[in-house]
């Protein structure tokens, strides 16, 4: 019976609105997978902000039911329906932050399939964090992976890199074209087998920052890598594999750093031992020198505590950092571009103000020399979410960590910068229909890396202010990559109910094992779809957040890299510590 006090015209208006919303829904449902409830498939710490995303059009309330037993433990009201422009879908948010009772639950909305089961539990991300670090071990160059450490992913040694040639672009009087030098170890960059300084640098720094900011946590982890059991935390053992390679990329004659160690073309879809084409040192560049300087200065600080295991390393890495810095000061504008015979990843950057700031900050923090502080000019350095080409945010991250050692005026400036970025991301979170601080321009090649680097900067804002709002926004980004997104994938191989199976990663594609190597974060949706012409099947949608293909062909949405895994490590470890163990 219609309520007589309820004007018929209003009822009509509401109904037609609902019809409009429903037709929008069915159109969008045709444009991708069936609408489903999206949760963080690895779950939530008891004290965390807990949100799920629910398709609109199915009622106003939700329940959490026990996975085993089906008892309802929580009821809540969904937020109002809003359209998330990046997926084109109408969504509502379910907030169940005040459910703190540990358990395994499913989220239920009448008319929809229950969500994947997920835990509310302490240590929700510790095994993810271990795996995301172990992924670096799986990507080690110049070594066999034995069964004791790699299990079914054991493989033969590839890329000894004992005879790497100086390419014409890198030739000097002391090191002429064709001269062969050793440059072993390091991590493969990604799904390809080359080693690129700029990208290696940001990855290595981010892992060092994870350790430097949360040493107690990492001192307690055990990753089952060959060095496990020594006195050095496994994270630092793993990072040393790459640092020892990076040091070989510096020309001791002038302090300059080669941009990359690479084949002329990408190899086929083969295992490392079968990718045997000649490798080259290519041209030195300003970005490589500064990035190297920043990383070596950071490493010098961090490994000072492990002098007994790595005698002399702290001093050697600092000297290397200072030599690279000096080279960059004398060569401030050497842009790297691929020579015509080199077709592998370019990692080209033309703007070096951010690299100068980052290197100056790390050198200052390690040495305390006023000249580096003067070179830094903090007042003119702005802040942004870091990526391989934009590193100024890393300067602020390190300055925030060590702000107690800075002059007072600088402490205020650090707080202002870090908060301003945190506030922007926080506002994005709270005004986003889906409750995720991702903007249209964030759906680039490696958008999941953008998500994790944004979360890392939010964590910096939280650690500086103790303000929980920033941590909630960081959690939302972790939710996003672990399944609370419109593709329904938890984007980390092997971690979640529905995970990528066909990452663009040569060992995973060539090893004859169905499951991909675990612990790798796929690049994620890329609105540019820059690999579409190489793919035999179309992308499921043209919407940014749905521009993802779990297929080998999709190097622009489904490759993995060391630089996207690194902030995943940082953030998953940080949430373990910051949301505590209760
Ligand atoms: O700078 C332009 C900008 O001016 C323009 O408006 C915008 C619109 O397309 O594009 C910008 O350039 C993009 C560039 O990244 C800088 O962000 C390119 O389109 C885009 O193709 C490029 O993507 C890079 C990709 O290599 C191709 O070069 C990714 O950032 C980078 O992560 C990726 O890295 C590869 C390595 O080369 C090889 N190893 C694997 C690794 C991951 O796929
Ligand atoms: O496999 C390559 C991947 O590692 C790179 O990130 C990507 C972009 O540089 O390129 C991939 O190689 C593709 C090439 O660029 C175009 N033809 C298809 C190749 C992959 O099968
Ligand atoms: Ca730059």
pLDDT in tens, 124-176: 999 999 999 999 999 999 999 999 999 999 999 999 999 999 999 999 999 99
| Dist CA 502 CA 491 (whole Å) | 11
Q: Can you tell me which residue has the tokens 């992308």?
A: 539
The per-residue pLDDT of the chain, averaged, comes to 94
Q: Whose CA is nearest to atom 7 of ligand 2?
A: 555
**3-class secondary-structure state, position 528:** coil
Quote the pLDDT of residue 580. Answer: 81
Active site residue 550: yes
Cα of 183 to ligand 2 centre, how many Å? Answer: 24
Burial class (CB in 10 A: 0-12, 13-18, 19+), 175: middle
Whether 555 is in the pocket of ligand 2, judged by its Cβ within 6 Å, is: yes
- pLDDT for the residue 412: 97
Q: What is the pLDDT of residues 412-445, one digit of tens each?
A: 999 999 999 999 999 999 999 999 999 999 999 9
How much distance in Å is there from the Cα of 387 to the middle of ligand 3?
Answer: 9
Q: Which helix or strand (DSSP H or E) is residue 63 part of?
A: strand 61-66
Only one residue has tokens 């509310």, namely 120
pLDDT of 336: 98
pLDDT tens digit sequence for 195-250: 999 999 999 999 999 999 999 999 999 999 999 999 999 999 999 999 999 999 99
452, HSE (Cβ side, Cα atoms, 13 Å): 33
Ligand 2 contact, 136 CB (< 6 A):
no
- Indicate the DSSP class of residue 306: G
Q: Is the CB of 190 under 6 A from ligand 2?
A: yes
Is 51-120 in CATH node 2.60.40.10? Answer: yes
d(CA 282, CA 275): 19
**What's the pLDDT band for 35 if we cut at 50, 70, 90?**
confident
Gap between the Cα atoms of 230 and 221, Å rounded: 12
Per-residue pLDDT tens digits for 508-567: 999 999 999 999 999 999 999 999 999 999 999 999 999 999 999 999 999 999 999 999
* pLDDT for 8 beyond 50: no
CA 119 vs CA 44, 68, 113: distances in Å: 7, 12, 18
Nearest CA to ligand 1 atom 37: 345
| Number of residues assigned to the chain | 582
**What distance in angstroms lies between residue 572's CA and the mean position of ligand 2's atoms?**
29
**Distance, C-alpha 152 to centroid of its chain:** 25
Contacts of 231 (CB under 8 A, 6+ apart): 306, 308, 309
Is there a catalytic annotation at residue 95? no
Tell me whether residue 504 is one of the annotated catalytic residues. Answer: yes
Question: What's the confidence (pLDDT) of residue 34?
Answer: 62
Nearest to 346 by CA among 410, 283, 252, 279: 283
Q: Quick check: 117 and 106 in contact, CB under 8 A? A: yes
What digits encode the pLDDT tens for the residues 44-102?
Answer: 999 999 999 999 999 999 999 999 989 999 999 999 999 999 999 999 999 999 999 99
What distance in Å separates the CA atoms of residue 17 and residue 15, rounded to the nearest whole number? Answer: 5
| DSSP conformation class of 7 | -
CA of 355 from ligand 2 middle (Å) equals 27
Nearest atom within ligand 2 for CA of residue 531: 16
pLDDT of residue 28: 39
Protein residue with least CA distance to atom 12, ligand 2: 266
**Residue 449 belongs to what H/E stretch?**
helix 447-465
Which ligand is the nearest neighbour of the Cα of 294? 3
User: How deeply is 162 buried, as exposed, middle or buried, from its count of CB atoms within 10 A (0-12, 13-18, 19+)?
Assistant: exposed
Question: Closest by alpha carbon to 576, among 126, 154, 269, 165?
Answer: 126
pLDDT digits (tens, 9 = 90+) for 95-107: 999 999 999 999 9
- The number of the ligand nearest the C-alpha atom of 349 reads 3
Domain ranges of the chain: 51-120
- The CA-atom distances, in angstroms, between 92 and each of 9, 428, 447 are 26, 16, 23
Q: Are 357 and 395 in contact (CB under 8 A)?
A: yes
**Tens-digit pLDDT profile for residues 311-346:** 999 999 999 999 999 999 999 999 999 999 999 999
- The answer to whether residue 559 is catalytic is yes
């Amino acid at each position: 019976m219609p309520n007589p006090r309820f004007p018929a015209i209003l009822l009509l208006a509401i109904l037609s609105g609902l019809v409009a919303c429903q037709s929008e829904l069915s159109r969008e449902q045709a444009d991708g997978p069936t609408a489903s409830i999206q949760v963080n498939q690895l779950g939530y710490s008891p004290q965390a902000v807990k949100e799920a995303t629910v398709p609109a059009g199915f009622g106003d309330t939700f329940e959490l039911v026990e996975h085993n037993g089906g008892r309802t433990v929580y009821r809540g009201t969904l937020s109002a329906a809003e359209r998330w422009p990046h997926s084109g879908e109408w969504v509502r948010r379910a907030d169940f932050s005040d459910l703190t009772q540990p358990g395994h639950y499913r989220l239920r909305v009448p008319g929809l399939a229950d969500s994947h089961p997920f835990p509310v539990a302490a240590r929700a991300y510790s095994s993810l964090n271990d795996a995301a670090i172990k992924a670096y071990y799986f990507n080690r160059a110049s070594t066999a992976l034995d069964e004791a450490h790699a299990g079914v992913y054991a493989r033969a040694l590839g890329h000894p890199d004992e005879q790497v040639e100086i390419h014409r672009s890198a030739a000097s009087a002391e090191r002429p074209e064709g001269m062969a030098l050793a440059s072993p170890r390091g991590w493969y960059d990604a799904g390809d087998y080359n080693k690129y300084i700029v990208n290696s640098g940001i990855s290595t720094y981010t892992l060092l920052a994870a350790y430097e900011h949360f040493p107690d946590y990492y001192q307690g982890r055990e990753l089952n890598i060959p060095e496990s059991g020594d006195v050095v935390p496994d994270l630092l053992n793993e990072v040393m594999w790459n640092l020892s390679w990076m040091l070989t990329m510096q020309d001791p004659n002038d302090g300059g750093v080669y941009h990359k160690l690479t084949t002329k073309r990408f190899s086929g879809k083969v295992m490392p031992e079968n990718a045997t084409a000649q490798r080259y040192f290519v041209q030195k560049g300003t970005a490589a020198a500064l990035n190297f300087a920043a990383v070596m200065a950071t490493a010098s600080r961090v490994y000072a505590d492990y002098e007994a295991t790595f005698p002399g390393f702290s001093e050697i890495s600092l000297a290397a950092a200072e030599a690279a810095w000096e080279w960059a000061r004398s060569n401030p504008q050497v842009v790297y571009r691929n020579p015509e015979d080199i077709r592998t990843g370019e990692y080209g950057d033309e703007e070096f103000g951010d690299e100068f700031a980052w290197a100056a900050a790390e050198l200052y923090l390690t040495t305390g020399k006023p000249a580096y502080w003067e070179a830094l000019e903090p007042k003119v350095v702005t802040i942004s979410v870091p990526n391989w080409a934009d590193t100024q945010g890393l300067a602020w991250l390190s300055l925030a960590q060590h702000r107690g050692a800075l002059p007072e005026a600088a402490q205020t400036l650090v707080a202002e910068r870090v908060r301003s970025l945190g506030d922007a991301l926080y506002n994005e979170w709270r005004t986003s229909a889906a409750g995720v601080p991702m903007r249209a321009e964030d759906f680039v090649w490696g958008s999941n890396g953008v998500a994790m680097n944004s979360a890392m900067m939010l964590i910096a804002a939280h650690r500086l202010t103790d303000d929980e709002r920033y941590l909630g926004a960081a959690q939302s980004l972790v939710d996003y990559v672990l399944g609370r997104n419109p593709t329904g994938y938890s984007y980390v191989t092997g971690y979640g109910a529905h995970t990528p199976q066909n990452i663009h990663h040569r060992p995973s594609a060539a090893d004859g094992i169905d499951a991909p190597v675990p612990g790798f974060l796929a690049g994620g949706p890329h609105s540019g779809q820059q690999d579409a012409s190489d793919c035999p099947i179309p992308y499921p949608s043209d919407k940014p957040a749905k521009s993802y293909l779990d297929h080998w062909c999709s190097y622009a949405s489904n490759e993995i890299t060391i630089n996207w895994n690194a902030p995943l490590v940082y953030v998953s470890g940080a949430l373990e510590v910051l949301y505590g163990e209760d």
